[in-house]
Structure 1
Amino acid sequence: MTELDAWVTAFAAEQRRPEEVARWAATTADAILADGDVDLADLRPLLLEAVEEHWYAFLDRLTLPGQPFELVPTARTVALEIARRHLGLPLLLKIYQRAQEASWDFAVQVVEEAPSDLDRAGLLVWFWTKATAWFGSSVEQSVLLHQTETDRIRQRGDARRFEVVSRALGDRSVSPAELSAALDGHPIGVPGHVALVAHALTADAIEQLEPAINAVTRHPGHPRSVLVRPGGREVWAWLAAAERPDTLDGAGIDPTAVRVTIGVGGGGLDGFVAAHRDARAAQRVALAPGRQEPVTAYDDVAALVLVAHDPAAAERFTRTTLGGLADAHHARLRETVREVLTSADTADRLAERLGIHKNTIRYRLTQAERLLGHPLRERAGDLLLALDYHDAFLRA
């Protein structure tokens, strides 16, 4: 074994240590995300994984020469995700450019720290030749994947539809007639619009988005929905209807995979936009840590959406309103208080419905009023809002 071979073997072994891989992945991902032309912050976990896979595979390439090149799996996912977000090829190339620049800086540092008896200039040339070949093959295959996926999306007309809808939702620089044409004749001038947004909680759940929309909209008597695929983890939909669908039970939707939100707007372009705006706003609640509902309508959580815009103030309001009732071990008391405030049943009928003794109801209410410091019906509206916020955002 030559001195270079020995150095490469030792270098690869050192760099395969998990802490070294994690450090290198974080440095490279940060370099990629430093350019803020497009916000890719939500892709950071995917980029970290891609850099790690690239690095392990490249180290194998150094120590086991002659292996055929194969693009690492997560790099394939990155290329496809960029295409599905309707982001162009220049962005994908810029990601690799930033990674290559970070790699050059690292290579120079590594060579400077190599033993003095090695030919450092020759080592840098050798190392960077390997790296350049790796980047070249990775870019070539990533570009092919991106272009293939982009062509597929364009063939479905998603890009054009998304472009027109984005203009309608943004600066309104589109006429109702143009919007309708882009949406295959979907009526814009109707008295009302219902908008839906389906969001996948994980990348693996993206294929469940359209079935989730269909689970809510495809029922007898509902008008036909029109879909827009913006890319990423969402699908949008609109119904030409003045009222939201009455099928809000979420049957057939897995809430651990997909959440659907609904907004209702008036007629015309303004109503089309307002309905989507409310459906997006409802996501603030629908995606909260304590929520498990597959379907959330804006009208049902409007107050909660508003207070959630200022999380710090909302948490202060909630803890002040609930007092000791906010403590983690008082979940049963909070559930009983909610039942009492939202039910017209007497204590006896409520106890029968909940399957507990009526004295248990009275005991819990006495405890709750002691923790609150005032009668239950006093500021009942604030109390219910605080309970909603606690359950959605603060429940451990």
Structure 2
Amino acid sequence: MRCRYGCCRHSPRSVSGSVGDISPIVGSSLSMPRSLVRKTVGTGTDSGHSHPKRRCSTVLFRADKAAKRRQRRPFLVRRHKRAGLPRAVRRWTAVVFAVTVGAIGSHSRKVRLIVRTPSHTVLERPGSLAEQDVDRYVALVASLLNEQLADITATMRDVLYTQIGELRGDESLLNLLGASIEGNVETILHILQYDIADEHVEPPSAAFEYARRLAQRGVPVNALVRAYRLGQDHLLKRSFEAIQATIAEPAIAFCASQRFVSTTFNYVDWISQHIVSVYESERERWLENRSAVRAARIKELIGGKTADTDRAEENIGYSLRQRHVGVVLWIDEESVSDSGLSTLERWATTLGECLGSRGKPLVVACDRTSVWAWLPFGHRDTFDPAAVRVFAEADAAAPRIAFGEPVAGVDGFRETHRQALRAQALALAGGADPVIGFGEPGVAAACLLSANLPSTRAWVQRVLGRLALADDQHGRLRDTVRVFLAEGGSYTAAAERLTMHKNSVKYRVARAEEERGRPISDDRLDVELALLACRWLGDAIYTEPR
């Protein structure tokens, strides 16, 4: 009968044979006398082999006298080439004894390993590391870390506060961050200490509440996810330190470290999904509620119902102690889409940047086709209205824009908005230019005339007569007379402004007087106002030609 390696035969008496007692080796120091090692291991004939020089089931040892003289270096090991040991064990060991025990005849084999580690301790492993030993050490390390929970929480909070600027806030938010860290770390350590199944793990309530608070304050969600990754790194460093200080056997330390890494990674991956879901839900709900609350507070401000400026600023998220320019942006009904309001909000922000505003504008939806906006200008009291017109003309997709003048304070917040609304009403009534500013010449007067269109129409027709007809010929006459009067009745100045010959201006003024039926000088102020109304109200007051 051949042995399992096929290198030698067992004699018939080997069926009942056995290896000598190895109990003196188990748990003993590797510096035992060489004679005891020989006696314990036995010879080839004792182990039932017919070939005493080919002992495959036992390990041959020889003493290296020179090595022993050099600070008692370990024995050299010779073993059968197929009787290999686990790679991780070979990497950690200084000396390995492999001894075959059990019934030789039945070929049942159990290898008992005695490993001398760098710390000169001895570990006995039947076959592989016992799972219960790893579990015991993992629970021990987890319990020791749990006793340091307060210190781990404090140091981790400092790390996150230092490395993630978005998480910096007031004291209440920092305390909630600490509670979230403590809840997550405690949950991980309890999973390791008590071997809790994944399906029985509950997320900490403080972690969910912290995610909601960050969503309410507009902190990006990637900052929250990064906090969990940095927290995982910090906890693993503390865990490795505790494992190194607690577990002397490298094999068990290695398995315990693996357990900590896998458990922590799985938990962070699981909790991150829940946290992001809570964050997104809260963000959507908060934005909806905030928009409704902000719109209500803004309407109270416009109506003069709010006396507490600090409270109002907190509710709307905008400083009232500065100069503002009220703006109304709108699109036609046929251009409305699902993203219409968000597009108008982006246009408002871009307009503020173009005009050099001192911060993000306050924007609130008025209806599905228009938004109200306030552009902050700090202490600046002027801006260039022509820049608004250039901004709108640069893009054919730009919305229609009406804006007021820069005014300061809470009263200015109301007044500039009312100016923008009156300018918008004028633009809607007359179909005027896509950009109109309340401070432009004649706009304020035209806004007053637009308050009662039927009366204004009748008055304009009485003052201008046939000059109020809605055709191109009379339109050119009206424009020439309006410029002529604006230039103080100077034919030369009017010709330069209109880029035409002076005689042409004289001819058109004369033709306008003929159409009107009387000289312009008779009631010059009325004529100017009537022409101003025609300029801004257009078709709303023209007379249809017969």
What residue number does 2:16 align with?
none
Corresponding position: 1:181 with 2:310: no
Aligned partner (choices 429, 439, 444) of residue 302 of structure 1: 444
Corresponding position: 1:200 with 2:319: no
Q: Secondary structure at the match of 2:404?
A: strand
Task: Name the CA shift for 1:197/1:353 in 2 (closer, same or farther; >3 Å).
Answer: closer
What residue number does 1:158 align with?
291
1:228–1:235 contact (8 Å) kept in structure 2: yes
Task: Name the CA shift for 1:217/1:382 in 2 (closer, same or farther; >3 Å).
Answer: farther
Describe the superposition over 1:177-199 as per-residue Cα deviations: whole angstroms up to 9, x where unpaired.
Answer: 12211232x22133x43211112
State how far apart, in whole Å, the 1-side matches of 2:301 and 2:485 are.
Answer: 42
What residue number does 1:217 align with?
352
> Which consecutive residues of structure 1, in runs of 5 or more, have no partner in the other structure?
1-147
State how far apart, in whole Å, the 2-side matches of 1:341 and 1:315 are.
Answer: 21
2:382–2:406 contact (8 Å) kept in structure 1: no
Aligned partner (choices 360, 378, 387) of residue 531 of structure 2: 387
Describe the superposition over 1:262-288 as per-residue Cα deviations: whole angstroms up to 9, x where unpaired.
Answer: 223643322211221221122221212
Describe the superposition over 1:139-181 as per-residue Cα deviations: whole angstroms up to 9, x where unpaired.
Answer: xxxxxxxxx9x95783583222212112222351362112211
TM-score (norm: length of structure 2): 0.40
Task: Name the CA shift for 1:327/1:229 in 2 (closer, same or farther; >3 Å).
Answer: closer
Corresponding position: 1:267 with 2:432: no
2:465–2:516 contact (8 Å) kept in structure 1: yes
2:482–2:528 contact (8 Å) kept in structure 1: yes
Q: Which has the higher contact order (CA 8 A, sep 6+)?
A: 1
Give the partner amino acid of 2:384: D
Task: Name the CA shift for 1:228/1:176 in 2 (closer, same or farther; >3 Å).
Answer: same
Task: Name the CA shift for 1:259/1:240 in 2 (closer, same or farther; >3 Å).
Answer: same
Describe the superposition over 1:243-270 as per-residue Cα deviations: whole angstroms up to 9, x where unpaired.
Answer: 3531434234268873211223643322
Which contiguous aligned blocks of 4+ residues in structure 1 show a shift greater than 4 angstroms? 150-153, 254-257
Q: Secondary structure at the match of 2:292?
A: helix
Corresponding position: 1:246 with 2:384: yes
What residue number does 1:360 align with?
504
Higher alpha-carbon deviation: 285-294 or 260-269: 260-269
Aligned partner (choices 328, 332, 335) of residue 470 of structure 2: 328
Aligned partner (choices 483, 488, 491) of residue 347 of structure 1: 491
How high is the sequence identity, in percent, across the aligned residues?
28
What residue number does 1:237 align with?
373
TM-score (norm: length of structure 1): 0.54
Q: Secondary structure at the match of 2:405?
A: strand
Residue 322 of structure 1 deviates from its aligned partner by: 0.9
State how far apart, in whole Å, the 1-side matches of 2:404 and 2:425 are.
Answer: 13
State how far apart, in whole Å, the 2-side matches of 1:378 and 1:256 are.
Answer: 46
Describe the superposition over 1:11-63 as per-residue Cα deviations: whole angstroms up to 9, x where unpaired.
Answer: xxxxxxxxxxxxxxxxxxxxxxxxxxxxxxxxxxxxxxxxxxxxxxxxxxxxx
State how far apart, in whole Å, the 2-side matches of 1:354 and 1:221 are.
Answer: 33
Residue 234 of structure 1 deviates from its aligned partner by: 1.6
What residue number does 1:10 align with?
none
Task: Name the CA shift for 1:212/1:344 in 2 (closer, same or farther; >3 Å).
Answer: farther
State how far apart, in whole Å, the 2-side matches of 1:355 and 1:267 are.
Answer: 40
Q: Secondary structure at the match of 2:354?
A: coil
Task: Name the CA shift for 1:354/1:266 in 2 (closer, same or farther; >3 Å).
Answer: closer
State how far apart, in whole Å, the 1-side matches of 2:324 and 2:469 are.
Answer: 42
State how far apart, in whole Å, the 1-side matches of 2:448 and 2:307 are.
Answer: 29
Give the alignment of 1:17-56 within 5 angstroms. Answer: none
State how far apart, in whole Å, the 2-side matches of 1:227 and 1:287 are.
Answer: 21
Give the partner amino acid of 2:389: G
Give the partner amino acid of 1:223: R
Give the partner amino acid of 1:239: L
1:256–1:292 contact (8 Å) kept in structure 2: no
Task: Name the CA shift for 1:247/1:274 in 2 (closer, same or farther; >3 Å).
Answer: closer
Greater helix percent: which structure? 1
Task: Name the CA shift for 1:247/1:310 in 2 (closer, same or farther; >3 Å).
Answer: closer
Corresponding position: 1:315 with 2:462: no
State how far apart, in whole Å, the 1-side matches of 2:487 and 2:285 are.
Answer: 52
2:355–2:383 contact (8 Å) kept in structure 1: no
2:429–2:450 contact (8 Å) kept in structure 1: no
State how far apart, in whole Å, the 1-side matches of 2:440 and 2:311 are.
Answer: 29
Residue 378 of structure 1 deviates from its aligned partner by: 4.3
> Which consecutive residues of structure 2, in runs of 5 or more, have no partner in the other structure?
1-280
Task: Name the CA shift for 1:263/1:355 in 2 (closer, same or farther; >3 Å).
Answer: closer
Q: Secondary structure at the match of 2:384?
A: coil
State how far apart, in whole Å, the 2-side matches of 1:256 and 1:388 are.
Answer: 29
Bigger radius of gyration, 1 or 2?
2
Task: Name the CA shift for 1:230/1:312 in 2 (closer, same or farther; >3 Å).
Answer: closer
Task: Name the CA shift for 1:318/1:215 in 2 (closer, same or farther; >3 Å).
Answer: farther
Residue 379 of structure 1 deviates from its aligned partner by: 3.4
State how far apart, in whole Å, the 1-side matches of 2:509 and 2:402 are.
Answer: 34
